[in-house]
Amino acid sequence: MPRTRHQSGSVQQRERRGKLVWVGLYRDAGGRRCITELEGAKTRSQAQSRMAEFLIPVNSERGAMEKNGNMPLAAYIEQVFIPFKMRRWKASTAGTNTGRLRVHLVRGELAEVPLSQLDRDQMQAFLDTRKQTCSKSVLDHLRFDLSDILKLAESDGLIRRNQAKVIFTPRKAKATALKRVMALGDVRKSLDVLDIRERAFVRLAIVAGMRPGEICALTWKDIEGEKATVSKRVYRGIIDTTKNSECREVYLSPLIRRDLELWKEFALPGEYVFGSERNSPLWYRNVWQRHIHPRFKKVGLEWANFHVMRRTNATLMDEAGADPKVAADQRGHDIGVSIDEYTQATLAQKAEAVLKLETLLIQ
C-alpha cells in the first residue's frame, strides 16, 4: 500500500481587485490544479500557515481516495505514475510519453473514472473510438500505457488485478505511414551532393548507424583508429548520455575515416568533430535544415531525414547479410526493436523469398 502523498501547496502574491493578496496553489483530490485566496494573510509565513490549515481536509480526502481505489485515472497518472516514471525516463522519452499520456488519458474520456471501476470494456471502447484518428503505432503505445499504469496501481494495492493486460489494438486502426528507406542509388546520390562536413556527417549516420545526436556529441578524442567510443549525445542543446545510457564502440569504415581526416583539415579548432565557433557541439536540426535538406531537395531526396537514414542502415545491413545482433549493437539497438521497427524488407528480398517458394512448388 503506498504512503499517502500529502501536499503542502505553494503560496504567492497576485493582484486581485486592484490590490496584492496572498493566494495558495494546490491540487484537489481529483488531481486538478486549483487556487484559493488566503484571506487575512499579510506575510508569507501567515499565508503558509493558512495554506497548511486549508489543505488538511483536502489531503485527508486525497488519502482516503488512494486507500480505497477511488482515485481517478487522471489524478493517478499526474500524481503517481508520471513522477515515478520520470526517475527512469530520459528527457526525450519523458517529453514524448507525458505528451501522449496527457493528450489521450489525462484529458480523455477515461480521466475521471476511478481506478477501481476501470474495466477492460471501458478501455477497449476507448481504443476503438480512436482507431480512425490515431495510427496503429499510437494505439499500441496507449494500450501499453494503460497496462503499465494499472500494473503500478496493482502493486500499490489500489486494484485487485490489471484488466488492461487483455485489451488489444483495434484491427481497423488508421494505417501507419509507409516507412521509407533509401536504396543504394539514393545513398550514393546523397553523398555526391554534399560538401565534406555534411558528407562525413551523413556517412556516419547511414554507414556507421549513429544517431544524429551522437554524431554531434562526438569528439576527436572519442576516435581511435578504426573505432569511435559513443558515450553521449546532444539533445535539445544539452549534452546527455546516450539514449539507452550505455557506452558502445562503433566501427568506422575506411571511407568514413577518409572523410573525417579530410574534414579535420578544415574544421574549427576545438574538441568536437562537428563543433561551432564557441567550441560547442552543433545542433543536428540546424545541420539538416540549413545544409543537408536543401542539397537533398535538389536531387529529390528531401524525404530522407535522419530517421530514414537510420532505417536505411538497418535495412542495407540486413540485405548485405550482416548478423542481426552485430548490426543492432553497432546502432545501439535492442535486437527486437532493430528487426521490428527499423529493418525493412526490400522488394528484391521479397522477390527472392517468393521465387524460392515458387521453385519448390514446380519441382
Give the DSSP per-residue string, 234-252. EETTEEEE-TTS--EEEE-
What pLDDT band is residue 81 in, cutting at 50, 70 and 90? Answer: very high
For residues 239 and 213, what is the distance between their CA atoms, to the nearest angstrom? 9
- What are the tens digits of pLDDT across the range 227-236? 899 999 988 7
Lowest-pLDDT choice from 172-176, 211-215, 242-246, 253-257: 172-176
Q: What is the CA radius of gyration of the chain?
A: 27
pTM over 0.85: no
Mean pLDDT of 112-140: 91
Question: Does the pLDDT value for residue 3 go beyond 50?
Answer: no
* Contact assessment for residue 193 and residue 298, using Cβ atoms and an 8 Å cutoff: yes
* Contact assessment for residue 5 and residue 84, using Cβ atoms and an 8 Å cutoff: no
Q: How many CB atoms lie within 10 A of CB 191?
A: 17
What's residue 72's pLDDT? 92
Distance of CA 284 to the CA centre of its chain: 17
What's residue 142's pLDDT? 95
For residues 363 and 358, what is the distance between their CA atoms, to the nearest angstrom? 9
Q: How many CB atoms lie within 10 A of CB 279?
A: 11
What's residue 196's pLDDT? 96
Q: Which residue has the cell 485487485?
A: 160
What's residue 4's pLDDT? 45
All domains in the chain, ordered by first residue = 10-68 (no CATH), 73-166 (1.10.150.130), 184-349 (1.10.443.10)
- What are the tens digits of pLDDT across the range 182-215? 999 999 999 999 999 999 999 999 999 999 999 9
Mean pLDDT estimate for the chain:
86
Core vs surface per residue 281-308: b (16+ CB within 10 A) or e: bbbbeebbeebbbebbeeeebeebbbeb
* Contact assessment for residue 188 and residue 159, using Cβ atoms and an 8 Å cutoff: no
Crossing angle (nearest 10°) for helices 196-206 and 306-319? 50
| Continuous H helices in 22-135 | 44-68, 73-76, 82-85, 91-101, 120-129
The number of helices, as runs of H, and strands, as runs of E, in the chain is: 16, 8
For residues 184 and 207, what is the distance between their CA atoms, to the nearest angstrom? 11
